[in-house]
């Protein structure tokens, strides 16, 4: 396969992308050609890459002083902790602005390595050797660097372009099918955005690209995908306008967040607790699992803006009531008190003019779990039989948290007017909470004095009208 070169041109930097088979073997020669002053090189490599591949790179760089880091290509690696550790080591090793960092891995290590290169000595030389199809076709181009924060992915970063990119097509032979399909999806995305003919070509040759690694079809798809991204980046380097179209799919993907957590020890009310048994334990230890998925969509169109969110979750607790190590009883596995499978919320704001704004908020969610009362029993005290015996009725409970309150629903509307009062910016607000006066149940209370027993529902709050005046000092 003949080597190919593609030039990326932005306002801040121009750099080449080299494509070919076994082109890693030429890394040293390409560095000497493009970066003649480099003396020290730090290689940040994916720890799951084939050992032979890293050996090829090291052999090509035998004339340079090398520092090698093997990292896990997980999102946890993209952190201040990891970045700071490597930066401190580079400073200890006296790396200067003419020295170089090489990223050898997928998009995760590419983002991290570029971030480190940018911050160290206000900018080291940087070379990206992408080893996944996704990185070769997209992630390695454009200059975005980034690490993650507790608030979300890629929220901390800069723009820092590599000095050149080395895309070795032969590397892709070692990738599992799943990684190839993932990268092909990104290539397909680029075609949908800007090139109808390319999309039709991909549709026709998709199987050849996915199933026949290291072939002319795969190389053509990668180069064409890179050209599309380069075209966009060249026109809008800092994502002020046009480049936002490349986030097609990513915005959705980042908003779609999943979570899972397990708890080794939790305490709950014993499902078999009997108040009449003085030796009974009111609390019991167990385990718990929580998992779910969340989706958030933000929008703004002309005078209308807002967001929509949906969450599905499941929180389940397990206790060993019989202490026999066997979990079988329906009382031993049950949803937690605050388990609410479905939750939907929306907020919309409409600016009528510079002074007036209308708002609409909608909430819907599954009802909270509770343990139902399925019967009653007459209990007497030790003084039963005396002239004035103390007696009462006790509840007979069903399975732990086996019932749910009705679904929660609420609509709030508001109106706000901006104004000045004594030269101070203020906002006069009017709001109707629970516009539909929906009866959201807070709890049930069972009355055993009647026969049969009656249950009474208590609501959270009725329709409420509020006024407010907010001052911005």
pLDDT per residue over 94-131, tens digit each? 999 999 999 999 999 999 999 999 999 999 999 999 99
Stretch among 144-148, 156-160, 277-281, 382-386 having the lowest mean pLDDT: 382-386
Q: What is the pLDDT of residue 141?
A: 87
Q: Looking at the predicted structure, is the pLDDT value of residue 319 above 50?
A: yes
Q: Looking at the predicted structure, is the pLDDT value of residue 382 above 70?
A: no
Predicted confidence band of residue 256 (pLDDT cuts 50, 70, 90): low
Predicted confidence band of residue 247 (pLDDT cuts 50, 70, 90): low
Stretch among 2-6, 88-92, 310-314, 409-413 having the lowest mean pLDDT: 2-6
Q: How far apart are CA 86 and CA 67, in angstroms?
A: 10
- Is the domain of 462 the same as that of 359? yes
Q: How far apart are CA 66 and CA 59, in angstroms?
A: 11
Measure the N-to-C terminal CA separation of the chain; round to a whole number of Å: 68
Q: What is the pLDDT of residue 281?
A: 67
Q: Tell me if residue 283 falls in helix, strand or coil.
A: strand
Q: What's the whole-number average pLDDT of the chain?
A: 85
Mean pLDDT of 347-362: 94
CB-CB contact of 60 with 104 (8 Å):
no
Q: What is the pLDDT of residues 41-82, one digit of tens each?
A: 999 999 989 889 999 999 999 999 999 999 988 888 898 999
Q: How far apart are CA 203 and CA 461, in angstroms?
A: 56
Q: What is the pLDDT of residue 389?
A: 45
- Is the domain of 356 the same as that of 226? no
Q: Looking at the predicted structure, is the pLDDT value of residue 390 above 50?
A: no
Which of 176, 170, 174, 146 minimizes the C-alpha distance to 160? Answer: 146
Distances (CA, A) of 277 to 261, 329, 377: 35, 21, 15
- Is the domain of 400 the same as that of 275? yes
- Is the domain of 277 the same as that of 227? no
Which domain does 71 fall in, by range? 4-250
- Is the domain of 226 the same as that of 262? no
Q: How far apart are CA 353 and CA 357, in angstroms?
A: 7
Q: What is the pLDDT of residue 380?
A: 57
Higher pLDDT residue, 373 or 465? 465
Q: What is the pLDDT of residues 336-353, one digit of tens each?
A: 888 889 999 999 999 999
Q: Looking at the predicted structure, is the pLDDT value of residue 263 above 80?
A: no
Question: Could you tell me where the beta strands, DSSP code E, fall in 281-341?
Answer: 283-301, 304-319, 333-335
Q: What percent of the chain has pLDDT over 90?
A: 41
Q: Looking at the predicted structure, is the pLDDT value of residue 245 above 80?
A: no
- Which of 250, 280, 306 marks a domain boundary? 250
- Which of 250, 270, 291 marks a domain boundary? 250
- Is the domain of 114 the same as that of 205? yes
Q: Looking at the predicted structure, is the pLDDT value of residue 267 above 90?
A: no
Predicted confidence band of residue 323 (pLDDT cuts 50, 70, 90): low
- Is the domain of 283 the same as that of 398? yes
Mean pLDDT of 355-380: 86
Mean pLDDT of 365-381: 79
CATH number of the domain to which 84 belongs = 3.40.50.1970
The count of domains in the chain is 2
Q: What is the pLDDT of residue 388?
A: 44
- Which of 230, 250, 270 marks a domain boundary? 250
Stretch among 278-282, 295-299, 407-411, 414-418 having the lowest mean pLDDT: 278-282
- Is the domain of 221 the same as that of 318? no
Pull the structure tokens for residue 280.
């009974």
Q: What is the pLDDT of residue 448?
A: 65
Predicted confidence band of residue 409 (pLDDT cuts 50, 70, 90): very high
Q: What is the pLDDT of residue 253?
A: 53
Q: What is the pLDDT of residue 351?
A: 93
């Amino acid at each position: 396969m003949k080597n190919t070169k593609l030039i990326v041109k932005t306002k801040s930097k121009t750099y080449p992308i080299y494509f070919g088979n076994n082109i890693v073997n030429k890394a040293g020669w390409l560095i000497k050609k493009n970066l003649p002053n480099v003396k020290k090189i730090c290689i940040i490599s994916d720890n799951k890459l084939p050992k032979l591949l890293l050996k090829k790179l090291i052999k090509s760089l035998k004339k340079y002083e090398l520092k090698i880091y093997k990292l896990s290509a997980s999102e946890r690696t993209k952190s201040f902790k990891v970045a700071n550790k490597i930066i401190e080591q580079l400073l200890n090793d006296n790396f200067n602005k003419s020295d170089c960092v090489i990223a050898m891995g997928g998009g995760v290590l590419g983002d991290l390595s570029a971030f480190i290169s940018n911050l160290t000595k206000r900018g080291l030389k940087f070379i990206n050797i992408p080893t996944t199809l996704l990185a070769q076709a997209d992630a390695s181009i454009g200059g975005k660097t980034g690490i993650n924060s507790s608030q979300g992915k890629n929220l901390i970063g800069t723009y820092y372009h590599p000095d050149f990119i080395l895309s070795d097509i032969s590397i892709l032979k070692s990738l599992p099918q799943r990684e190839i399909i993932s990268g092909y999806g990104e290539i397909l995305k680029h075609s949908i955005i800007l090139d109808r003919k390319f999309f039709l070509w991909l549709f026709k040759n998709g199987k050849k690209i996915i199933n026949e690694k290291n072939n002319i079809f795969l190389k053509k798809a990668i180069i064409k995908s890179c050209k599309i991204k380069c075209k966009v980046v060249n026109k809008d380097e800092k994502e002020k306008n046009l480049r936002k179209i490349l986030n097609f799919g990513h915005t959705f993907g980042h908003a779609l967040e999943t979570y899972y957590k397990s708890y080794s020890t939790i305490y709950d009310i014993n499902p078999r607790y009997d108040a009449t048994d003085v030796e009974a334990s009111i609390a019991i230890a167990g385990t718990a699992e929580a998992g779910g998925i969340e989706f958030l969509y933000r929008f703004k169109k002309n005078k209308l803006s807002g967001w929509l969110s949906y969450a599905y979750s499941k929180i389940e607790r397990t206790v060993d009531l019989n202490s026999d190590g066997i979990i079988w009883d329906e009382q031993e596995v049950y949803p937690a008190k605050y388990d609410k499978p479905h939750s939907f919320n929306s907020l919309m704001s409409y600016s009528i003019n510079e002074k007036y704004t209308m708002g609409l908020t909608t909430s819907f969610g599954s009802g909270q779990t509770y343990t139902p009362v399925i019967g009653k029993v007459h209990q007497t005290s030790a003084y039963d039989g005396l002239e004035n015996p103390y007696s009462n009725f006790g509840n007979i409970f069903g399975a732990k948290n086996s019932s749910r309150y009705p679904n929660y629903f609420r609509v709030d509307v508001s109106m706000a007017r901006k104004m000045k009062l004594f030269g101070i910016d203020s906002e006069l607000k009017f709001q109707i909470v629970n516009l539909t006066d929906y009866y959201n149940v807070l709890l049930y209370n069972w009355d055993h004095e009647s026969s049969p027993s009656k249950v009474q529902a208590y609501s959270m709050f009725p329709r409420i009208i509020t006024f407010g005046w907010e001052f911005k000092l």
